[in-house]
Structure 1
Amino acid sequence: MKSTLYLKFVIVYIIFGFLSIFTVATLGSGLVSAPLIRNVSSSVYREANMVATNYLPQFFSEQISLNDVRTQLTGIEIHLNAAVWFVDRDGVMITSAQSDNFSPAPHKITDFNPAEIGSSRYMTGDYHGYFSEDVITVLAPVVYDYSSKGYLLIHKSMNDITQIQDILMHSAYISLVVIYLLSFMILLAFRFFVYRPLSKITEAAKQYASGNLEYEIPVNTEDEMGYLSASLNYMSSQLRDMEDYQKKFVANVSHDFRSPLTSIKGYVEAMADGTIPPEMQEKYLKIILFETERLTDLTHDLLTLNEFDTKNLLLDKSAFDIHEIIKNVAASFEGICTQKKISFELIFATKHLEVIADKRKIQQVLYNLLDNAIKFSDSESDITIETTNRGDKVYISVKDYGIGIPRNALNKIWERFYKTDLSRGKDKKGTGLGLAIVKEAIQAHGENINVVSTEGVGTEFIFSLPKV
C-alpha cells in the first residue's frame, strides 16, 4: 500500500503541478496578449476618434490655430504615452507630438494609405519603418465639410502592452503557486481520510485471511470508510459465530452419534463374549434397536436440514385441505397418546380449509410440533390444535399444557441441537433438530412461526400458510 497507492497519488500531484506551470507559461502569454491588445487599441481609438471628431475640424474652419492643435496633441501624448501625428489627406505632416522614446515624425508618410488599417481600427508593427520597435497604430479621420481633410494617428508602444502582460502573468504565476500549495490539503485529506482507513481495512483483510477473526478495524467515522469498516467488523463477528457454531455442531453430532454407537457396541460385545446370557439377549436387542432408531432419526433430520441449507430447495406446492393433514398426523400419535392418556382437541375454523404449500414439508412441521407437545405434556392432559382464517392467511396453532419453556431459552430453541436441560433429562430420544427443521420449512414458504410459552403453564406454536 505504501509503495503503490499513496505514492501514485503523490506522483500525480507533482505531475499536475508541473503541467499547470507549463500550461500557464506556454498558453498564458498568447491568451492574455490578444485581448489586451484589442482592449488597449479600442481605448486609444476612442480617444483619437473623439479628438478627430470634436476638436480637429475646427482647425480646418480656422477657429483654432496650429499652436492650439499642437497643445492638444501634446496633452494626448502625455496622457497616452504615445506618438501623436496629425496629417493631411496626402500624409503630409501638419503637426505632431511625441516623447524622446519615439523616433521623430517624418515630414510626409511614404505611401500613405488610410485604408490599410481596415475594419480592425488598428494595426501593429513598425509602421512603414518609422519606429525602431513595434507599436499599435490607430487612425481616425478628421471630417470637415463632408470630406476627410486629414487624419489623426496615434502610435502606442508595444512595450507598454508587454509590461501590463508581464504584470498579469506574474499575478497568474503567484495565484497558481498559491492554489497549488492550497491543493496540497487535498493530498493531506486523502492521506488522513482515505489512505489511513484503507490501510487499516487492508490490514484487517490480511488478518482475516490468516484466520485471525478476532481482529477489529479501528475506524469509527461517519462516512463510507466507517460504514465499510463496520460491515467488515460485523462480518468477522458473524464468521466467529459461525466458526463457534460449526465447532458446536460437530461436537453435538459427534456426541449424539457416539452415545448410541457406544451402547450398541457394548451390548453386542457383551452378547458375543457371553457376558449377557442368551435368555436376556432379547431385552438388550430391543435396546440396540431403540438406539438404531435414534441414529436413523438423527441421520434423517440432518439430511432434511441439508436440503434447506443448499438454498436450492424446490418446494412441491399444491392445494390441499390442512384439516385433513392435521387429522392424519394426529392419528399417527394414537399409540403414545393412549399410553400417556393424552387427548387432542381439534378446533377448526371451517369444515374444509385449503392452503397452498408443500404437503410433505407441512406434514413434517405438524409431526415435529405434535411430537414436541407430547414429550413435554404431563399424563392425562390435552393438546389443542386450532386453525384460524384471516384474510389471505391461515394460522395453525399447536398448544400444550405441559412444563413450558424457560424465558431465557425461547430464542435458542430454533438453534440446531439445542436442548433445554429438561428436554435432555426427560427425553433422550430427541435429536435437538426438530424445531430447527420446523422453522426452516416455514421460512422456505415465505411465512413465519412464533412461540408463546410460560413455565408450568404450557407452550403454543403458531405459524401461517397462504390460503387458496
Structure 2
Amino acid sequence: MKSTLYMKFVLLYAIFGFLSLFTVSALSSTLTSSYLEREISGNLYQEANLVTSDYLPRYFSEQISTADVYTQLNGMRSYLDSTIWFVDKEGNMIASAKSEDASYIPSYIEDFDPAEAGSSQYLIGDYHGYFDQKMITVIAPVTQKFSTKGYLLIHKPYRDIDQSRSIITRNTAIIVLVVYLLSFMIFMGIHFFIYRPLCKITDAAKQYASGNLDVVIPVDTQDEMGCLSASLNYMSSQLKDMEDYQKKFVANVSHDFRSPLTSIKGYVEAMADGTIPPEMQDKYLKIILFETERLTDLTRDLLTLNEFDTKDLLLDKTSFDIHEVIRNTAESFEGTCTAKKITIELLFASRKLHVYADKRKIQQVLYNLLDNAIKFSGTDSSITVETTERGEKVFVSVKDNGIGIPRSSLNKIWERFYKTDASRGKDKKGTGLGLSIVKEIIQAHNENINVISTEGVGTEFIFSLQRG
C-alpha cells in the first residue's frame, strides 16, 4: 500500500514505452511506404511526362530515329535506375532500356491496358509476370496532334522503397528510444529529487503524529522539498519546546500550589490536635493567611495569563492621563514603602500626559513593576518612575537601586514561573508570573518593553505606549 502510487507510475511509464515502440513498428512502416510510393511514383511520372511531351512525339513524325530513342531511354535508365519501355498504343515494343533487375524484354505486352491503374498513377507488382520481383510502374501516354500514338512505361524496383522505408523506420525507432531513455532520466530525477524526499517527509510526519518529535527530516536541499522539510523540522522543534514547556508549567503550578497547601494543612492539623496551644494560634493563623494570599495571587495571575493564551483578551482602549495612574499606583504601596523606608520619586514630562491604552491593564503593568522594584530594593533606597515623550510615543521608566538581575537571567525573566536564584531566596511570595503578565499586556497593545540591569547596581524597565 505504501508504494501503490509509485508502482502505478512505473507501470504507466513502462506501458508508455511499449506503446511508443509498438506504434513506431506498426504505423511507421505503413505510413512511410505509402508516402514513398506516392513520392517516387510522382517523380517517375514527372520524368516520363517530360520525355513523352517534348521528345518521343517526334519519333512518330519521323524527326528522330529508333537509335535516337534508344539513346534517350538508356540515359533515363542510368538516371532513374529503372527499366524503361516505349510501346505503341497496342503494346508492341518499339524501344527499351533494360536495367539489371529485368530478366528479359518482351516484344509485345499481353493484355496491355494503359488504364489498368485506374485513379492511381502507378501500379505495384511484377507487371503481368514480366519481372521476378515487385516493381512500381508508371505509364505515360505519348500524344501527337491530340491523338495517342504510344506509351512510355517506367519500372522501378520496389526494393528501393523498402530500403528507404527501413532506414526511416529504423531512425524513427532510434529517436523514440532515445526520447524514452531521456524520459527515463527525467523519471529517475523525479524519483531521487521528489519521490524519495517526499517519502522521508511522509515518514517523519507519521512519527510526529504518533508523538515522536525527535525525528529530524534529512532533506537539506534549497528547493520546495527542502523548504517543506525545514518547516516541518522547525514545527517539530516548536512542538517539542511546547511539550517541554507544558510539562514545566504543570510542574511549576503543582509545586507553587503544593507548598502553601502543605503549610496550611500542617498548621491547621497542629491547631486541631492541640499541638499548637491556643495562645500561639494567632501567630500561625497569620502564616495561614499569608499562604492563602499566595494562593490567591497565583490563581489571579494564572487567570490573567489564560486570557492571553485563549485570545479572549479584549482591550478597552481609552485616552487617559498616565501621570494620574502612576500616582494612584504608587500611593497603593505607601504602607510597604514606609515599612522598608523606600521612597518613590516621580519625574513627569509635563503636568498631564494622555496615552491611548487599556487603563486597567496598564495600571496592572505599573503595579507589577513597582511591586518587583520594592521587593528587590534594600532599606533606605529610592525608586524612580519617569515619563518621556518622543513623537507619537510615550515612554515610562521604572528604575530601582536594588540587587539587579544576573546577565545570564536577562533573557529568561519573561518566562512564566521563572525566578532568579536571588529572588528565590528574597521573594517567598512571588509566583514568577508578574513579568510574564507585564510583557503579555504590553505586546497586546503592540508596544515594546525592555530591561536594563546591572547586578548589584539596579534594574530599569522601560515600556512604550501610544500617545492619546
Give the match's secondary structure for 1:319. strand
1:460 matched to which residue of 2? 460
Contact 1:140–1:151 (Cα < 8 Å) also in 2: yes
Give the match's secondary structure for 1:396. strand
Map Cα deviations across residues 405-427 of structure 1 (whole Å, 9 max, x no partner): 11111111111100001111111
2:243 matched to which residue of 1? 243
Report which stretch shifted further, 95-104 or 344-353. Answer: 95-104
Contact 1:124–1:135 (Cα < 8 Å) also in 2: no
Give the match's secondary structure for 1:123. coil
1:355 matched to which residue of 2? 355
Percent identical pairs in the alignment equals: 68
Quote the Cα distance in structure 1 between the aligned partners of 2:372 and 2:28. 87
1:30 Cα deviation from its structure 2 partner = 4.5
Closer, same or farther in 2 for the Cα pair 1:430/1:111, shift >3 Å?
Answer: same
Aligned pairs (5 A) from 1:3-402: 3-45=3-45, 47-48=47-48, 51=51, 64-86=64-86, 95-99=95-99, 100-101=101-102, 112=114, 123-126=121-124, 154-402=154-402
Quote the Cα distance in structure 2 between the aligned partners of 1:82 and 1:265. 123
Gaps of 5+ in 1: none
1:53 Cα deviation from its structure 2 partner = 6.5
Closer, same or farther in 2 for the Cα pair 1:87/1:363, shift >3 Å?
Answer: farther
Contact 1:84–1:152 (Cα < 8 Å) also in 2: yes
Give the match's secondary structure for 1:346. strand
Quote the Cα distance in structure 2 between the aligned partners of 1:312 and 1:136. 93
User: Taking structure 1 as the reference length, what is the TM-score of the superposition?
Assistant: 0.84
Contact 2:260–2:291 (Cα < 8 Å) also in 1: yes
Closer, same or farther in 2 for the Cα pair 1:350/1:93, shift >3 Å?
Answer: farther
Closer, same or farther in 2 for the Cα pair 1:444/1:86, shift >3 Å?
Answer: farther
Quote the Cα distance in structure 1 between the aligned partners of 2:30 and 2:69. 38
Closer, same or farther in 2 for the Cα pair 1:384/1:85, shift >3 Å?
Answer: farther
Report which stretch shifted further, 50-59 or 159-168. Answer: 50-59
Matched residues, number: 464
Gaps of 5+ in 2: none
1:88 Cα deviation from its structure 2 partner = 7.4
Q: Kindly provide the amino acid, as one letter, of the partner of residue 370 in structure 1.
A: L
Closer, same or farther in 2 for the Cα pair 1:134/1:320, shift >3 Å?
Answer: farther
Quote the Cα distance in structure 2 between the aligned partners of 1:15 and 1:115. 42
User: Taking structure 2 as the reference length, what is the TM-score of the superposition?
Assistant: 0.84
Quote the Cα distance in structure 2 between the aligned partners of 1:101 and 1:115. 21
Quote the Cα distance in structure 2 between the aligned partners of 1:104 and 1:312. 110
1:149 Cα deviation from its structure 2 partner = 8.1
Contact 1:344–1:385 (Cα < 8 Å) also in 2: yes
Closer, same or farther in 2 for the Cα pair 1:163/1:287, shift >3 Å?
Answer: same
Contact 2:419–2:432 (Cα < 8 Å) also in 1: yes
Closer, same or farther in 2 for the Cα pair 1:380/1:12, shift >3 Å?
Answer: same
Closer, same or farther in 2 for the Cα pair 1:126/1:9, shift >3 Å?
Answer: closer
1:434 Cα deviation from its structure 2 partner = 0.9
Quote the Cα distance in structure 2 between the aligned partners of 1:50 and 1:321. 112
Closer, same or farther in 2 for the Cα pair 1:384/1:134, shift >3 Å?
Answer: farther
RMSD (Å) for aligned C-alpha atoms: 3.6
